[in-house]
Every structure is written in structure tokens, then in C-alpha cells.
Amino acid sequence: MTELLRAERSAFETLFPNKPFRITHGLENDPRLTLDAILDLVKSLPGDRIEYNSGKAAVSQDPDATPLVDLSPEEIVKRVETAGAWMVLKQVETHPDYKALLEDALLSVARAQGFSSLRAAGFSDIQGFVFVSSPNSTTPFHLDSEDNFFVQIHGDKQFNIYDNDDRSIANEDQIEHCITKHRNLKFEERYEAKGMHNDLKPGEGVFVPYLWPHYIKTRETYSISVAITWKTRAVRRRNRLYVANAMLRDRGFAQKAPGVNPGWDALKVAFIATGAAIAAPLRKSEGLRKMIRSMVLGKNANYYYRAQKKDAGAHKAA
Ligand SMILES: [Fe+2]
């Protein structure tokens, strides 16, 4: 098989999966990643799997004050050059064509490392995110709950990643907030010394490790990118601890960070794993996903619909 994702052998030997490194890829001309194909994908996804707002967001953006855009997701794709918008299509692995794309890309990495399968290489819980952004758009400073091969398909992007291993950018409480409430973080100039700055062109990309904060800017052209993500067993376990701690903290019980009390950690992981197994079949319904989000994360969890409601209101007023 052709290697769809490529990096120096030394990067995989010495950096993966703990430090970021540059990659190249063979997906820039894939017919599933043209604007026409993405328009079809937009039409096929449920509403809570499409998040969009103005591209004029700040690097240090308060999520409750995110500037919105008065366009539908379909209009954003059709008018991306001038829409002034940023949009992400989430969990595109729910579409079989995109599931195949993600799995083929990760399988090429697994095989290059001598593994015979995705599972043997630790690539489980694979999810894909397709980003479509207008020129001069910003993705605010944030962190994510998964490992990510980020690939640039169209246009140029500045992708800045920051070392938070010593927790001096985001402490454990802030990481818990990012994973369970909203991903955005405040950015301070003093972080720059810890930054890895990447100018990405089509055919290039970067490995973004679990919990490494980053922000992104597009340049003079519109941009299409894909985040090819997965969660190892260790990552899933740590995420479940953050979720358990947030649920208990929200109900008035102070919690220690993951790893401080391993006995309690094991109980919390078992509890969340059981809840996740019960909720898994329910998550197939958009309405039940909305209910589960508000039960676990609180009344502000369904922010996906905020932009859509305002958007619909704006259309009505026009
Ligand atoms: Fe991200």
C-alpha cells in the first residue's frame, strides 16, 4: 500500500506519540475532499455534527462571545472564498467513504511501523474532522482529547502548537474544563517560547499529540484540512477520569487530578465506562445525544444549536 501519511523514521522512533512533528501526505487530490464532495457531506450530517462561526474569532476567544456568521453550512461551502467563516464537520467516520479514508491513512502508518492492523498499532476510536475555512480565519487557542494527524488539503495554514508537558499553560483543572465543557484556552504572549510554528501547504501536515494546545490561522486563500484522530486505551482512560471528575465537581465534591489517587481513579473509570456503554446505542439519535450532553455536561453543553438558532433568527429578520 502507498504510504498516505509519511514522516521521518526518526520522528516515529523518538517523538511519537509524545511530541509534535511534521508529516507529508498523499491526500491533497483525494476526490472526497473537494468542495463539491464536502457539500454532499454537509447535506448528509446531522445538525450537531456541524459547528461553524465567523472566521474573525480571536486567538484568545471567550467561547460565549464567539462571533457568528449569517450563513447556512451549505452556503459557507458554496461561498467559502468570501463567507468570512470557519466550519468543522465532526465525526465524518460515520460516512463510509470517509471512514475508509481515515482507516487507509492510519493503516499506512501502522504498516510502515511493522504492525499488521490498526488495532495492533493502537489506532482505536478513530474519528475524522473536516475543516473548511475562509481566507484570514482563526481557530482559537484550544486543546483536544485525542491524538491527531492534521493534514492540509487546500490553501495555506499557520499551525502553532505549544508544549504543556509541565502544565504551565493549562493546569489539570483547565484541561478538565477543556475536555468536558469547552475546548478554548486563554493565550498569553509568554507561551511563544514554547511554540512550534508550522506553515502548512497542501500535501503537508503535523502530528498533534493528545492535550497539546494549538491555534491555527488561514492565509490569503480558503482552506480545507482534515484531522485524522484516534484514542489509545490510555487516552480513553484519562478522558474518562476528566469526565468523572467534572461530574463529581459539578455536584459539589472536590476531586484530585488523574493519577493522584489510583484506587479512586479505577472506580471512576469503571463507573464512566459503564455509563458510556449504556449510552452508546442512544447516541445514534441526535435528540438523545442532545439530552445526554445536557445531563453530563450541564445546560450550556448544547452550544451547537446556539449558532443555528441565532442564524435562523437572522434569516427571519432579513
Ligand atoms: Fe484542535
Q: Where are the domains of the chain?
A: 5-231, 235-309
128 Cα to the center of ligand 1, angstroms: 12
296 Cα to the center of ligand 1, angstroms: 22
Q: CATH topology for 5-231? A: Jelly Rolls (2.60.120)
252 Cα to the center of ligand 1, angstroms: 30
Q: How confident is the model at residue 316 (pLDDT cuts 50, 70, 90)?
A: very low
151 Cα to the center of ligand 1, angstroms: 12
45 Cα to the center of ligand 1, angstroms: 20
15 burial type by CB count under 10 A (0-12 exposed, 13-18 middle, 19+ buried): middle
274 Cα to the center of ligand 1, angstroms: 28
227 Cα to the center of ligand 1, angstroms: 8
318 Cα to the center of ligand 1, angstroms: 34
Query: Which tens digit of pLDDT belongs to each residue from 13-67?
Result: 999 999 999 999 999 999 999 999 999 999 999 999 999 999 999 999 999 999 9
Choose the weakest-confidence range: 108-112, 122-126, 265-269, 275-279.
275-279
pLDDT at 222: 98
pLDDT at 296: 66
pTM above 0.95, yes or no: no
Q: How confident is the model at residue 298 (pLDDT cuts 50, 70, 90)?
A: low
208 Cα to the center of ligand 1, angstroms: 8
Q: How confident is the model at residue 289 (pLDDT cuts 50, 70, 90)?
A: confident
pLDDT at 33: 98
Query: Which tens digit of pLDDT belongs to each residue from 176-224?
Result: 999 998 999 999 999 999 999 999 999 999 999 999 999 999 999 999 9
184 Cα to the center of ligand 1, angstroms: 9
186 Cα to the center of ligand 1, angstroms: 14
